[in-house]
Structure formats: structure tokens, C-alpha cells
Amino acid sequence: MNTTRGFIGFMRAFLAVASVAAYQVLAHHAVATPDEHGLGLAMALAPPLLLALGAAARSPRRAWWLTLWMLAAGALWGARTPLAQHFEWGLYLEHVSFNLGMALVFGRTLAAGQTPLCTQFATMMRKSGAGGLKPAVARYTRQITVAWTVFFVAIAAVSTLMFAFAPIVDWSTFANYLALPLVGAMFVGEHAVRRFVVPGEAQAGMMEAIRAYRAKSQNAARTSPHAGQLQ
């Protein structure tokens, strides 16, 4: 059973990575190749449309939301010719909104009265009965939450500056081929710093912590008395 679950988890992760890689290759190809406006528009619209379709299908009022989704998709189809002439804007807005959204995920937990997101990760990764986080660990996890917030804001800022002033192909190279590897480099660098700054503490990988956080959030959503009341 555990082997089957592990294989399914591996395949899901593999398919997710492969899908992201394929998307980035196709998006960059559309930007770098003349007369690929149709492909570029498809790359710009497919992610938000699929996300909206998934949200509509899960809604208790799915009939109403699916109808609205079809009307919006029809309107976009009708405007496909002028939209295709400026599909780069769609790709840019998609890239920047993702990074600003990630900055918000981390940054909003730094507000007064909130627990920094990386502190939440570290707390969940500790074995039960181990007690609270040491002050040094709590301080470090707050600092790394700030670092992730600044990192995603910086990616969005560089993307904006390059989109405005650099050749569009250079912007696409950064957005599609460099931004995610930079996230990976941030993970690796943070892990190395963590081992040095707080040796023997919170050594579990960030991905394990994220999985634990997601599992906890999903369990909370299922047990919430308001679950399923989203309009």
C-alpha cells in the first residue's frame, strides 16, 4: 500500500513538473517565433481558464458558475484576433501575478498577531511532544519568511523591468527558463544556511513541510462546519 501511494505521489509530481516544463517551453517558443500568436494566446489563457473551470466545477452553484465560465470563454474566443496580437501581456501578467501571489502568501503571515509561514512549517515538522520552537529557530524562521517574501517581490520586479525595457525574448528567457531555477536555488541556499544557523533544528526539507501544511489545511477544511458553503 505504501509503495503504491509512493508511486502515485511520484507520478503526480512527475506529471506536474513535466506539465510546467512543457508550458514554459511552448510559451517561450511562442514569444521567440514570429507568427505564433495563436499558440501564445493559448499559453496565456489556458492556465487561468483551467483554474476557473476547476473552481466552477467544485462550487455548490456549479451550474451558474459553469454557465458564466462558458460565456467568458466564448467572449475570449470572439476577441481572439486582437488578443492574440498582444498575447505577451497575458504571459507577463500571469508571471507577475503568480510571484506577487506567492509574496502575499508569505508576507501576510508577518503581520502583527500572525505566525510567520516558515515558523508554521517548522512547528509542524517537529515531533509531537518536542515542545515549542527554540527562540533561535523562531527568529530564523521569521527571517526566512521575510526572505521568501522579498524574493518573490524581486522576481516580479525584475520581470516587470525586463518586460518594459528589454527585448521580449530576453524577458521570456528570464520568466520561462530562469525564474523557477532561481526558486530551486533559493531552496538549496536556504537549506544550507539553515543547517549552519540552527544546526540540529528544523532540518526537514521545505517540500516535506509544505506537504504537511497542505495536509493540515485540507483536514481543517474537511472538518470545518462551513465546508462546502462557498458560493
* pLDDT, tens digit (0-9, with 9 covering 90-100), for 91-101: 999 999 999 99
What pLDDT is attached to residue 217? 58
What pLDDT is attached to residue 72? 95
What pLDDT is attached to residue 2? 61
What pLDDT is attached to residue 123? 82
What pLDDT is attached to residue 128? 43
Q: Which of 206, 182, 185 is nearest to 194 (CA)?
A: 206
Task: Look up the pTM and report it.
Answer: 0.82
Stretches in the chain below the pLDDT threshold 50: 128-130, 202, 226-231
All three cell numbers of 206: 521545505
What pLDDT is attached to residue 210? 61
What pLDDT is attached to residue 1? 58
Buried b / exposed e over 64-90, threshold 16 CB at 10 Å, is ebeeebeeeeeeeeeebeebbeebbeb
The rounded distance, in Å, linking the Cα atoms of 193 and 202 is 12
Q: Which residue has the cell 508511486?
A: 7
End-to-end Cα spacing for the chain: 37
Q: What pLDDT digit, counting tens, does each position of 27-44 carry?
A: 999 999 998 999 999 999
